[in-house]
Amino acid sequence: MVLELREKLQSLLGDDLTIERELGGGGMARVFLAHERELDRRIVIKVILPDVAGAVSAERFKREIQLAAKLQHPHIVPVINAVSAGDLLYYTMPYVDGESLAMRLSRAGAVPVGEAIHILRDSIRALAYAHRHGVVHRDIKPANILLSEDSALVADFGIAKALSDAGGADRGLTTVGLSVGTPAYMAPEQSVGDAVDQRADIYSLGAVAYEMLSGAHVFAGKTAQQVMAAHVMETPAPLQTKAPLVSAALANLVMRCLEKDPNSRPQSADDLLHELDAAVTPSSGTVSVASARGRSRPVAIAASILLALLLLGGGALAFTPKDKLATAMALMRRKPAQLHTNRVIVAPFTNDTGNPKLASLGSMAADWLAQGLSRAGGLEVVDARTAMVTGDVVDKTPWPFRSRDRGKAIAEETGSGILISGTIYQDGDSLRISAKMTDVLSGKVLLVLTPISGPAAAPTKILDALTKRAVANIVQARDPDRVFALGEYSEIPSVEAYDELLKGIEGYFRGDTSGYAHLEKAIAIDSSYPTPVVFLAFSRLYRGDFAIAKKLLARAETLRNVMAPADRAMTDHLEALMRADGSAALAAAQQFMAVTPGSQESPLLLASVALSISRPHTALAALEHVDPDRGLNLAGPFYWTYEAGAYIALGKFRQALDFSRAGVKRFPDERMANSYEESLAALGKWMS
């Protein structure tokens, strides 16, 4: 990939610039050293990686870089220009003859105190100048501090903001699993997606200073996930315990830079420079205004920051957790996903058409392909609604608490060992769909499908062809001797009907009735499409609209032969509830769970039905299939409530209290969980 990127870049640069070698790179860019013939000088070219470049607006990126390029300071490496050519996005800057602070630390360990102070002073001066001109760096780290002779220079000013702002609200870098900045040095408020100012740079420089003086990262020995969490929650070990030769004044200043609360840090780089001068001048009795200012309690600050952890992706849906702190802790501590080698999930396809009329086509492609695989048999197939809900949960779960790749993260949440993913392109009046099958654990691509093409005016025909070809190829690849038939199923609905279905489901999960109109519209657009009928019946019945639900179920019965297995099982369940037939409702819930592998919700449905007809053992058996740290269990206390309810029914009150307390600990605001603990304590049964 690097060789291909280098060749493509060289062809764009022409004869004036010759790439000499690669200097390295990170999660967002590759770095090359080039020789500029006309001026006979070396320059550095940083190429934004394609998956990152694809998520940003090239024009907005270039505008932000132009603003940063105006910074002219002896301790700032200037940006020469930013270029968008073809599918490449890159910027250039002068080559600094020397090494980065990261290289220096790797080569020689801790930096002598005098030299470290010199590097800090130069870096602070660069920050002070940039901050006065309205530019916050956002990615201060040893790799961006360059050492040349007796000076330190800060590189990549404005790059993090350029990438972030160029991402925009609807094409941000979180959609490709990337956050702007380096988690190892990122301020707590930046880690959780809050607005940042110059004090975030001061925190990051504090982390760099700690590493320079001690020879080890402030949270050494932790994984990337643990480091990011530690920046938010943990108080670092005092610097003097790691570097006893550092004066108390300097050590205290570094630790103040690492305060969780931005208000407790030096408030500007100018303040920091003055405090540094005071700290390294023994005769000075200076006490800064910032150091005399009252500070917020660290625990309270950490908690308030963590409350935003699951909101990094934007506005919260109805199932976004109310108790973000406890949920964040669960995410940090949860075990790796248990993958089932025979379970497959079709992730919503990436939609690169740019056509708003086809916005739902990616979800639609995944839905129909999953239905086709389910009908073919031989695999556990995660149904489309489970994939959709899980995708929303994944989107609200920040990296590094999940895999960067969205499809892989969805697969892990559902325990799927096989991932099918794809991309939809539009070339003029034609659509083209590509797809592949990947082993989730190893990352090995197991099968690449020949792309399907067709007229953009007839997307459903293309999806039908995709389903038939993909199912045939996937089944044959896994078992060449198998003979199968897809059987009878409903025709693929129109894109308009499917779009209304998605809006209806979203309305339901927001907890309001706005989805009814969308579901009714989907039914009106395509009367032969069973899913919106079943889902509307489900939502109406569970809101107590029994007369409407009864009519919808009668209509659903006329479509039974073309229903997907999950729709059929749910219809049976709803009809049994309407008849008040508990045993039939339980049997249908068991069938629903069987045809929705990977769902964290279907075992909860089964448990609730079992408890309602006094079958606590059945409820506990269903709950064994639930991972309380995944899926919608991150959003509500149902798992703990049902566990407690089952043990109450069995007279095992100690176990019931344990689960109810665990639910209260995770969701202290939820009355459903609180009621169990309150009732158990009031009855005194937990004492038995």
Alpha helices in 54-180 (DSSP H): 58-69, 101-108, 113-132, 159-167
Higher-confidence position of 205 and 664: 205
In whole angstroms, give the CA distance from residue 417 to residue 394. Answer: 17
Alpha helices in 479-601 (DSSP H): 495-509, 515-525, 530-542, 546-557, 565-578, 582-594
Residue for token pair 């020789």: 35
Nearest alpha carbon to residue 531 among 480, 476, 470, 489: 489
Please list, residue by residue across 100-136, b when 16 or more beta carbons sit within 10 angstroms of its beta carbon and e when fewer do: bbbebbeeeebbebeebbbbbbbbbbbbbbbbeeebb
Domains and CATH numbers, the chain: 2-94 (3.30.200.20), 99-306 (1.10.510.10), 338-486 (3.40.50.10610), 488-551 (1.25.40)
| Cβ neighbours, 10 Å, residue 469 | 18
Please list, residue by residue across 596-626, b when 16 or more beta carbons sit within 10 angstroms of its beta carbon and e when fewer do: bbbbbbbbbbbbbbbbeeebbebbbbbbebb
Q: What pLDDT, in 10s, does the model give residues 532-565? A: 999 999 988 877 888 999 999 999 999 998 888 8
Asked if pLDDT for residue 257 goes beyond 90, the answer is yes
Asked if pLDDT for residue 343 goes beyond 80, the answer is yes
Whole-model pTM: value is: 0.55
Helix (H), strand (E) at residue 94: strand 88-94
Query: Cβ(622)–Cβ(638) under 8 Å?
Result: no
Q: Which of helix, strand or coil describes residue 454? A: strand
Query: Cβ(188)–Cβ(236) under 8 Å?
Result: no
Please report which confidence band the pLDDT of residue 668 belongs to, taking 50, 70 and 90 as the band edges: confident
Q: What pLDDT, in 10s, does the model give residues 610-650? A: 998 899 999 999 999 998 888 778 777 889 989 998 998 89
- Choice among 12-26, 169-183, 418-432, 573-587 with the minimum mean pLDDT: 169-183
Mean pLDDT of 163-190: 55
DSSP 49: P
In whole angstroms, give the CA distance from residue 260 to residue 46. Answer: 32
Please report which confidence band the pLDDT of residue 258 belongs to, taking 50, 70 and 90 as the band edges: very high
Structure tokens at 50: 């394609």
Q: What pLDDT, in 10s, does the model give residues 76-108? A: 888 888 777 766 778 888 888 888 899 889 888
In the set 139, 156, 572, 629, the catalytic residue is: 139
Q: How far is CA 224 from CA 14, 178, 585, in A?
A: 40, 13, 46
Asked if pLDDT for residue 324 goes beyond 80, the answer is no
In whole angstroms, give the CA distance from residue 176 to residue 576. Answer: 43
In whole angstroms, give the CA distance from residue 263 to residue 44. Answer: 37
Asked if pLDDT for residue 386 goes beyond 70, the answer is yes
The answer to whether 526 is a known catalytic residue is no
Residues paired with 148 in a beta bridge: 151
Q: How far is CA 348 from CA 3, 174, 316, 410, in A?
A: 31, 16, 20, 10
Give strand ranges (E) for 330-429: 340-346, 350-351, 380-381, 416-427
In whole angstroms, give the CA distance from residue 262 to residue 194. Answer: 12
In whole angstroms, give the CA distance from residue 166 to residue 173. Answer: 9
Structure tokens at 340: 């089932």
- What is the predicted pLDDT for the residue at 120? 93
Query: Cβ(554)–Cβ(574) under 8 Å?
Result: no
- 94-98, 240-244, 263-267, 487-491, range with greatest mean pLDDT: 263-267
Asked if pLDDT for residue 297 goes beyond 60, the answer is no
Which phi and psi angles does 152 have, rounded to 5°? -115, 135
- Choice among 188-197, 638-647, 664-673 with the minimum mean pLDDT: 664-673
In whole angstroms, give the CA distance from residue 35 to residue 232. Answer: 43
Nearest alpha carbon to residue 468 among 489, 482, 447: 489
- What is the predicted pLDDT for the residue at 684? 59
Residue 443, judged by CB atoms within 10 A of its CB (0-12, 13-18, 19+), counts as exposed
